[in-house]
Structure 1
């Protein structure tokens, strides 16, 4: 392994541990599953979260934005890389992901991180579907188009 590979493994490992720890903390402290789509949906109409449930959701959303900015400030690395696709394709992809979270009753973080750790059969099927669809999309976009 090259030093660069070791460093990227270290960063990925730290990130994974932090995500896992945050998921456990949220379940233990709030009794909630750490699925980003559900957390953010609780901030938006038609069913915004009430009172005390709103505060931790706002804090979570701010952390999603602030985390990369803190890493950039500490390391000097760009917080977000330049998109490798056009803006219209990026918008369509985002809308499709949002639609998928509605019909899939959750997002990759909720099913993949939290659902699998709870041995949820629905999350196992959902995560398998996410992974298969992602692999198929890469095959089509990189090798067939």
Structure 2
């Protein structure tokens, strides 16, 4: 399958999931907030959050099963650095009051200026980090 077709399909599915969650529950599909609500549960808030997360994992597993070879892990990254990177991402989502999915997909769709500032910060940081990793380090 062509890269642009799978990217387009993925984008449409993400947008559809975010739209349906907002229409049906009034909730924003920010993954960090959904995970946070499972880790610090409140009554009546866990079931839909857990179902959403199970759906994310099941959809990824289904894609890997239906399209063998769609994912090939990159080699040469020390596991300790991956764990540290994951923790830094978690810290960043708390610091920014949301993650790229919440701000980028949902916030921009709602014309939120706060989300625009967050997305610009994410993108500039990603570009600078990639440049440093590939060309300086």
Q: What runs of 5+ residues in structure 1 fail to find an aligned partner?
A: none
Shift of 1:84: 4.7
Q: Does 1:39 align with 2:51?
A: no
Q: Does 1:50 align with 2:51?
A: no
1:110 corresponds to: 102
Q: What runs of 5+ residues in structure 2 fail to find an aligned partner?
A: none
Q: Is the 8 A contact 1:111 1:123 kept in 2?
A: yes
The 5-angstrom pairing of residues 1-145 of structure 1 reads 7-45=2-40, 48-51=41-44, 53-77=45-69, 81-82=73-74, 84-145=76-137
If the length of structure 2 is used for normalisation, what is the TM-score? 0.94
**Which whole-Å CA distance do the structure 1 matches of 2:76 and 2:10 have between them?**
23
Which of 1 and 2 has higher RCO (CA within 8 Å, sep 6+)? Answer: 2
What is the Cα-based RMSD across aligned positions, in Å?
A: 1.5
If the length of structure 1 is used for normalisation, what is the TM-score? 0.89
Q: Once the two structures are superposed, what CA deviation does each residue of 1:55-112 show, in whole Å capped at 9, x if it has no partner?
A: 1111111122211211122222355624551101101110110000111000000000
Structure 1 residues 105 and 83 mapped into 2: Cα distance closer, same or farther (>3 Å)?
A: farther
**Which whole-Å CA distance do the structure 1 matches of 2:71 and 2:61 have between them?**
6
